[in-house]
Amino acid sequence: MMHLAVALDGAGWHPAAWRSPDARPAELLTASYWTDLVAIAQSGLLDFVTIDDSLTIQSASPRRLDDRTDQVRGRLDAVLIAARVAPTSRHIGLMPTALTTHTEPFHVSKAIATLDFVSTGRAGVQVRAGGSAAEAALFGRRPSLDREAPDFDPAAGQQQTIDRFDEAADYVEVLRRLWDSWQDDAIIRDQTSGRFIDRKRLHYIDFEGRWFSVRGPSITPRPPQGQPIVSALAHVTPAYRLAARQADVVFVTPRTEDDIAAILCEIQHETGQLARPEPPLVFADVLVFLDPDGPAAQSRKARLDELDGRELMSDSRIFAGTPAQLADELVHLIESGYDGIRLRPGALPHDLHAISSLLVPELQRRGVFREQYTAGTLRGQLGLERPANRYQTA
Amino acid sequence: MSETTKQVHLAAHFPGVNNTTVWSDPASGSNIEFSSFAHFARTAERAKFDFLFLAEGLRLREQNDQIYDLDVVGRPDTFTVLAALAAVTDRLGLAGTINSTFNEPYEVARQFASLDHLSAGRAAWNVVTSWDAFTGENFRRAGYLAQDDRYSRAETFLRTAFELFDSWRGDEIVADRQSGTFLSDPTAGGFHHDDAHFQISGRFNVPRSPQGRPVIFQAGDSEDGREFAASSADAIFSRYSQYDEGRAFYSDIKGRLHRYGRSPEQLLILPAATFVLGDSEVDAHEKADWIRHQQVSGQTAIKFAEQLWNRDLSGYDPDGPLPDIDPDLGENTIARGRASVRMYRDPLAISKQWRELASTKNLSLREVVIEVTGRQAFVGTPDSVASTINRYVQDDVSDGFILVPHLVPGGLDDFADQVVPILQERGVFRTEYEGSTLREHLGLGKLDAHTPSAMVAS
């Protein structure tokens, strides 16, 4: 069985998607826009949605702020969007992005634990290491190298990249330790002794690393899943290494037949360096324009390209075609060893509707996708056990 | 006295990690599960309260170098719960304490602006400063701040956040498909701030929210804190719920406003207040007495006394006399992560008062603690409690109260069902929400979307 997720961001992954006839560009900052999207995704029985985020304002250039006025600018905090949609949904996993470079792991740990409480076991988090100079300027605490400066030193840039991913690995370590810092049975409400908790079942995490030290325990009890799902997007070796060390799910971007095998090989290599029993679940990202009629999807994409003034570029494979054609590609990925697919809808809500109402039935006809939700938690959905607490001694 | 009848403002505090909550009561539910928060919020909204409030504590309390285990321990993340509560309520304001020490203005501003969008204009921020190295052990920015720097940092933090909120006017998103103009202003969100605490620049990535910015609460009580509130806050979460002290605080604060070009209605004074309802006055007082005894067990009384004496008193009998030794003076090290110990500014004098009380009334250690700590503000029948609350508001003790029940999730139910209808009948409390934003509930004017917050200029 394949796992299927969607990545939600703004009006969709095409920069001109907001100009589609059925787009809702004036509502991107409203709760109802997001509750509607998540409801559509849930109607397709998808495993989870990711909700993208960034600390800097969107830009057509990866490293600089731009002054374009013809693309979506402005967004909401992804963790709070996920929290807002949690009570309005029942089955689908909710995985907001959290940025690891300038934020506090203690805050993010309790936020994701709380998301797990408010969604009764459907929380995850996609961690993302930052690093741009523009992002650093928003905080003013730690400078980042300006990669477009005339005196930029590539070797230093490479080291910074490695450091930021190492920091992200430390960050996830702190998230995980804090989630375990309360044993499941820590709250005892013992009338006889007058004790609310058994303090022996709470644990200092005493993490000390290069970038931060965190004492613990968390202020929030262990969440319903024990450990919410941690994911990361990876294109480069330090990111594959981070995923191998710390992620339950890794999103990757195979674009060619060669990539399909090479990426799996690299993840296996990184995982093999570790004592980890199970490798992370590998999800291939595909950016999709989906219509019952293939030429319609292609011309829709072409029209958006024209509006944006250039052809869409992406780190992931870009697909424009019919549900049957897409299903063929996805089945091929699964047969090649991928655990799941994360689709990036080119335009919202159009392509999300198509995923839930056209692609999913096609996959079900082929017997490769679920007919109903059966698990109560996101971990369960992904076939992952509720993990033992690292601090609990038998 | 006021010439016109003032409207009462009411809010609900989901009780946190202190001995207010009687967790041993069979009706005491989870303080973590979302269902508890949802029930509590829906009750508050059913009663047409102005807002719900969550406090903050970023490290589990310790006493005698151990995690304190007698009270409720643990709480969820404030922003996350408030955003989820926006899904199960429509009008209720959503207020949270977020400190300015273990956060940065950019991230707090984007979280509050996001919450304000996702709740369609119901967010409020109680700005506090922490300064203890104990809490700092959980953070990158383990910032210890000298007393003098605290308000300076809090004030600067707030002013910086205001600059971020005001970096969007509110009319920039045009989203015109035909012309392809999403944004009318290519520099929307631009900011540049440079002072001793924060040197930040760029573009804020959350466009202007429905209220312009969250409603601002302040809770400090020092001279600096009062002045800070008078200059910059929309409401004060005060500790003065008693008649005389409340009136004094109220007139002091309202008297400071003119210096900042503000009128008295622009800053609400809302003390926290506990309550106990009964079928008769006698019944209510018996219940109140029972609750106090539940809140202050023998063990809890010893812990309270240790906080004053600043030493281990585990050998003492709570039903016996107060310790005959004097408190350990100097830095209070017995209890950590607890604001109240700082209130014991003169432990020797306070211990003397406690002893006098004990001898006058012939009280045990536990009974003294019950007497001196946190008596309920309103005890009586629904009718008498409604009358007292209204009288206090009309007499300028406050503009209303933030009610703190001793139980979750049902601790507000009786108040909502029995007291609120009486206040409504008397025409001093709304029967329907008139506006949709928290600013409107509080009677605060709409912020002009096209000019920066006036009060920030200084």
Q: Based on the fold, state whether residues B244 and B367 are members of the same structural domain.
A: no
- B429 within some domain: yes
The beta-carbon neighbor of B186 closest among A67, A75, A103 is: A67
B196 interface with A at CB cutoff 8 Å: no
Exposure string over A281-299, b if 16+ CB within 10 A, otherwise e: bbbbbbbbbbbeebeebee
Instruction: Specify the residue for token string 């209204």.
Output: B390
Q: Based on the fold, state whether residues B45 and B155 are members of the same structural domain.
A: yes
Span B34-70, pLDDT tens digits: 999 999 999 999 999 999 999 999 999 999 999 999 9
Specify the pLDDT at position B2.
47
Mean pLDDT of all residues in B211-240: 91
Q: Based on the fold, state whether residues B251 and B360 are members of the same structural domain.
A: no
Q: Based on the fold, state whether residues B53 and B148 are members of the same structural domain.
A: yes
Question: What DSSP character marks residue A251?
Answer: E
Q: Based on the fold, state whether residues B36 and B87 are members of the same structural domain.
A: yes
B367: left (phi over 0), alpha (psi -120 to 50) or beta: alpha
Q: Based on the fold, state whether residues B321 and B402 are members of the same structural domain.
A: no
B66 interface with A at CB cutoff 8 Å: yes
Domain that holds residue B452: 9-167+201-279+376-456
**Of B445, B456, B447, B451, the residue nearest B210 (C-alpha):** B447
Asked if the model's pLDDT at residue B451 lies above 50, the reply is no
This complex has an ipTM of 0.98
Q: What is the CATH number of the domain that holds B248?
A: 3.20.20.30
Nearest CA-CA distance, residue B22 and chain A, Å: 10
Specify the pLDDT at position B455.
44
Mean pLDDT of all residues in A270-296: 93
CB–CB contact B106 A139 (8 Å): yes
Q: Based on the fold, state whether residues B304 and B227 are members of the same structural domain.
A: no
CB–CB contact A307 B180 (8 Å): yes
Domain boundary among B372, B406, B434: B372
Are residues A222 and A183 in contact, defined by beta-carbon separation less than 8 angstroms?
yes
A-B contacts (CB, under 8 Å): 225
Spatial separation of the C-alpha atoms in residues B129 and B220, rounded to whole Å: 9
Spatial separation of the C-alpha atoms in residues A312 and A296, rounded to whole Å: 17
CB–CB contact B76 A214 (8 Å): no
- B291 within some domain: no
Enumerate the residues of chain B whose CB falls inside 8 A of the CB of residue A221.
Answer: 32, 74
Are residues B46 and B416 in contact, defined by beta-carbon separation less than 8 angstroms?
yes
Spatial separation of the C-alpha atoms in residues B439 and B211, rounded to whole Å: 7
Enumerate the residues of chain A whose CB falls inside 8 A of the CB of residue B200.
Answer: 137-140
pLDDT band at B143 (very low <50, low <70, confident <90, very high): low
Nearest CA-CA distance, residue B175 and chain A, Å: 6
Given 3.10.20.520, 3.20.20.30, 3.30.565.10, 3.40.190.10, which CATH number is that of A3-381? Answer: 3.20.20.30
List, as ranges, residues 240-299 from B with C-beta within 8 Å of A.
297, 299
Specify the pLDDT at position A166.
95
Span B333-342, pLDDT tens digits: 888 887 665 6
Q: Based on the fold, state whether residues B261 and B305 are members of the same structural domain.
A: no
Q: Based on the fold, state whether residues B222 and B354 are members of the same structural domain.
A: no
Domain ranges of chain A: 3-381
Q: What is the side-by-side order of every strand in the sheet holding B66-67?
A: B66-67, B62-63, B335-336
**From A89, which residue of chain B is nearest by alpha-carbon distance?**
B87
- B187 within some domain: no
- B146 within some domain: yes
Residue B68's contacts (CB-CB under 8 Å, 6 or more residues apart) are B60, B61, B62, B303, B335
**Does B238 or B147 have the greater pLDDT score?**
B238
CB–CB contact B118 A81 (8 Å): yes
- B191 within some domain: no
Interface test with chain B among A33, A51, A68, A118, by most B beta carbons within 10 Å: A118
Specify the pLDDT at position A145.
86
Enumerate the residues of chain B whose CB falls inside 8 A of the CB of residue A107.
Answer: 77, 102-103
**From A69, which residue of chain B is nearest by alpha-carbon distance?**
B183
- B175 within some domain: no
Task: Please count the structural domains in chain B.
Answer: 2
Nearest CA-CA distance, residue B205 and chain A, Å: 5
Span B122-142, pLDDT tens digits: 999 999 877 678 999 999 876
CB–CB contact A118 B34 (8 Å): yes
Spatial separation of the C-alpha atoms in residues B11 and B429, rounded to whole Å: 12
Domain boundary among B335, B355, B372: B372
**From B170, which residue of chain A is nearest by alpha-carbon distance?**
A74
Helix and strand counts by DSSP (H, E) for chain A: 12, 13
B169 interface with A at CB cutoff 8 Å: no
**From A21, which residue of chain B is nearest by alpha-carbon distance?**
B177
Tell me the residue ranges of DSSP E strands in A191-294: 195-197, 207-208, 213-214, 229-233, 249-252, 281-290
Asked if the model's pLDDT at residue B450 lies above 90, the reply is no
Span A223-268, pLDDT tens digits: 999 999 999 999 999 999 999 999 999 999 999 999 999 999 999 9
- Report the Cα A12 to chain-centroid distance in Å: 15
Enumerate the residues of chain B whose CB falls inside 8 A of the CB of residue A26.
Answer: 173, 175
Specify the pLDDT at position A169.
97
- B289 within some domain: no
Work out the widest C-alpha separation in chain B, in whole angstroms.
83
Q: Based on the fold, state whether residues B229 and B214 are members of the same structural domain.
A: yes
Enumerate the residues of chain B whose CB falls inside 8 A of the CB of residue A12.
Answer: none
Backbone angles phi, psi at B6, to 5 degrees: -80, 150
Enumerate the residues of chain B whose CB falls inside 8 A of the CB of residue A57.
Answer: 189, 202-205
Domain boundary among B338, B372, B406: B372
Q: Based on the fold, state whether residues B206 and B344 are members of the same structural domain.
A: no
Asked if the model's pLDDT at residue B458 lies above 50, the reply is no
Q: Based on the fold, state whether residues B306 and B435 are members of the same structural domain.
A: no
Average pLDDT taken over every residue of chain A: 96
Nearest CA-CA distance, residue A194 and chain B, Å: 6
pLDDT band at A108 (very low <50, low <70, confident <90, very high): very high
Specify the pLDDT at position B345.
78
The beta-carbon neighbor of B57 closest among A70, A211, A219 is: A219
Asked if the model's pLDDT at residue B399 lies above 60, the reply is yes
Q: What is the enclosing helix (H) or strand (E) of A317? A: strand A317-321
The beta-carbon neighbor of B177 closest among A19, A85, A202 is: A19
